[in-house]
Structure 1
Amino acid sequence: MVETIKTDVLVIGAGSAGLSVAAGASQMGADVVLLEGHKMGGDCLNYGCVPSKALIASAKAAHAQSHSAPLGIANQPPDVDYAAVMEHVAQVIAQIAPVDSQERFEGLGVRVIREFGQFVSPTEVQAGDHRITARRIVIATGSSPLVPPIPGLDNVPYLTNETLFDLRERPDHLLIIGGGPIGIEMAQAHVRLGSKVTVIEGMTALAKDDPDFASEVLDAIRTEGVAIEEGAMAAEIREQARAIEVEAKDGRVFSGTHLLIAVGRKANTDRLNLKAAEIETTKSGIKVDARMRTSNRRIFAIGDIAGGLQFTHVAGYQAGVILRPMLFGLPAKAKTSHIPWATYTDPELAQVGLAEAEAREEHGDKLEIAAFSFDENDRAIAERKTTGKIKVMVVGGRPVGATIVGHRAGDLISLWSLAIANNLKMSQIAGMVAPYPTYGEINKRAVGAYFSPRLFDNPRVKQVVGLVQRWLP
Structure 2
Amino acid sequence: MTERIKADICVIGAGSGGLSVAAGAAQMGARAVLVEGAEMGGDCLNTGCVPSKALLAAASAAEAQRSGARFGVTRVEPQADYAAAMEHVAATIAAIAPHDSQERFESLGVRVIRAWGRFTSPSDLAAGDAVITARRFVIATGSRPFVPPIPGLETVPYLTNETLWSLRERPARLLVIGGGPIGMELAQAHRRLGCEVTVIEAATALNREDPELAAILLDRLRAEGVEIVAGAKVASVTGQGGAIRVEVEGGRTFEGTHLLVAAGRVPNTESLNLDAAGVETNKSGIRTDARLRTTNRRIYAIGDVAGRGQFTHLAGYHAGVVVRSAVLGLPARARHDHIPRATYTDPELAHVGLTEAEARKRHGDKLTVLRAPLSANDRAQATARTEGMVKVMAVGGRPVGVSIVGTEAGELIAPWALAMANGLKLSAFANTVLPYPTLSEASKRAASTYFTPKLFDNPWVKRVVGFVQRFIP
TM-score by length of 1: 0.99
Residue equivalent to 2:301: 301
| Matched AA of 2:197 | V
Residue equivalent to 1:438: 438
What is the CA deviation profile of residues 31-61 of structure 1, one whole-angstrom value per residue up to 9, with x for unaligned ones? Answer: 1000011100000000000000000000011
Does the residue aligned with 1:182 lie in a helix, a strand or coil?
helix
What is the CA deviation profile of residues 304-341 of structure 1, one whole-angstrom value per residue up to 9, with x for unaligned ones? Answer: 01112100000000000111111221111111111000
Residue equivalent to 1:468: 468
* Cα distance in 1 for residues equivalent to 2:84 and 2:23: 34
Residue equivalent to 1:397: 397
* Cα distance in 1 for residues equivalent to 2:328 and 2:106: 23
* Cα distance in 2 for residues equivalent to 1:265 and 1:171: 24
| Matched AA of 1:101 | S
Does the residue aligned with 2:384 lie in a helix, a strand or coil?
coil
1:172-183 equivalences in 2 (<5 Å): 172-183=172-183
Residue equivalent to 1:104: 104
* Cα distance in 1 for residues equivalent to 2:380 and 2:241: 48
| Matched AA of 1:54 | A
* Cα distance in 2 for residues equivalent to 1:440 and 1:108: 39
* Cα distance in 2 for residues equivalent to 1:451 and 1:122: 56
**Aligned partners of 2:63 and 2:192 also within 8 Å:** yes
**Aligned partners of 1:137 and 1:300 also within 8 Å:** yes
Residue equivalent to 1:253: 253
* Cα distance in 1 for residues equivalent to 2:240 and 2:278: 48
**Aligned partners of 2:241 and 2:258 also within 8 Å:** no
1:332-347 equivalences in 2 (<5 Å): 332-347=332-347
| Matched AA of 1:210 | D
* Cα distance in 1 for residues equivalent to 2:323 and 2:431: 34
Residue equivalent to 1:77: 77
Range 59-68 or range 236-245, more displaced:
236-245
Question: Identity of aligned pairs, percent?
Answer: 64
| Matched AA of 1:225 | G
Range 320-329 or range 87-96, more displaced:
320-329
* Cα distance in 1 for residues equivalent to 2:308 and 2:323: 19
**Aligned partners of 2:157 and 2:240 also within 8 Å:** no
Give how far 1:462 is off: 1.4
Alignment CA distance shift 1:78-1:278 (3 Å): same
Give how far 1:242 is off: 4.6
Residue equivalent to 1:87: 87
Structure 2, unmatched stretches of 5+, are: none
1:8-157 equivalences in 2 (<5 Å): 8-157=8-157
Residue equivalent to 1:331: 331
What is the CA deviation profile of residues 142-161 of structure 1, one whole-angstrom value per residue up to 9, with x for unaligned ones? Answer: 00111111010011110000
* Cα distance in 1 for residues equivalent to 2:436 and 2:27: 41
Does the residue aligned with 2:59 lie in a helix, a strand or coil?
helix
* Cα distance in 1 for residues equivalent to 2:368 and 2:242: 55
Give how far 1:428 is off: 2.2
Give how far 1:122 is off: 0.3
**Aligned partners of 1:419 and 1:429 also within 8 Å:** no
| Matched AA of 1:33 | V
**Aligned partners of 1:235 and 1:247 also within 8 Å:** yes
What is the CA deviation profile of residues 254-279 of structure 1, one whole-angstrom value per residue up to 9, with x for unaligned ones? Answer: 00000000000011111100000000
Does the residue aligned with 2:289 lie in a helix, a strand or coil?
coil
Give how far 1:9 is off: 0.8
Give how far 1:430 is off: 1.8
* Cα distance in 2 for residues equivalent to 1:320 and 1:242: 46
Alignment CA distance shift 1:45-1:285 (3 Å): same
* Cα distance in 2 for residues equivalent to 1:240 and 1:291: 48
* Cα distance in 2 for residues equivalent to 1:28 and 1:465: 60
Residue equivalent to 2:230: 230
Residue equivalent to 1:453: 453
* Cα distance in 2 for residues equivalent to 1:331 and 1:431: 35
Residue equivalent to 2:274: 274
| Matched AA of 1:111 | R
What is the CA deviation profile of residues 330-371 of structure 1, one whole-angstrom value per residue up to 9, with x for unaligned ones? Answer: 111111111000111111111100000000000000001111
1:351-390 equivalences in 2 (<5 Å): 351-390=351-390
**Aligned partners of 2:198 and 2:226 also within 8 Å:** yes
Range 22-31 or range 152-161, more displaced:
22-31
Alignment CA distance shift 1:183-1:241 (3 Å): closer
TM-score by length of 2: 0.99
What is the CA deviation profile of residues 418-465 of structure 1, one whole-angstrom value per residue up to 9, with x for unaligned ones? Answer: 111111111122222111111111111111111111111222111111
Range 450-459 or range 370-379, more displaced:
450-459
* Cα distance in 2 for residues equivalent to 1:10 and 1:240: 44
1:174-193 equivalences in 2 (<5 Å): 174-193=174-193
Give how far 1:471 is off: 2.9
* Cα distance in 2 for residues equivalent to 1:196 and 1:424: 46
* Cα distance in 1 for residues equivalent to 2:285 and 2:402: 28
Runs of 4+ in 1 over 3 A off after TM superposition: none
Does the residue aligned with 2:75 lie in a helix, a strand or coil?
coil
Tell me how many residue pairs correspond in the alignment.
473
* Cα distance in 1 for residues equivalent to 2:38 and 2:58: 28
Does the residue aligned with 2:182 lie in a helix, a strand or coil?
helix
What is the CA deviation profile of residues 164-222 of structure 1, one whole-angstrom value per residue up to 9, with x for unaligned ones? Answer: 11100000000000000000111111110000000011111000000111010111000
What is the CA deviation profile of residues 242-295 of structure 1, one whole-angstrom value per residue up to 9, with x for unaligned ones? Answer: 510000011110000000000000111111000000000011211111111000
What is the CA deviation profile of residues 205-242 of structure 1, one whole-angstrom value per residue up to 9, with x for unaligned ones? Answer: 00000011101011100000011011110110000795
**Aligned partners of 1:119 and 1:126 also within 8 Å:** yes
* Cα distance in 1 for residues equivalent to 2:312 and 2:387: 28
What is the CA deviation profile of residues 106-134 of structure 1, one whole-angstrom value per residue up to 9, with x for unaligned ones? Answer: 11111111011100000000011111111
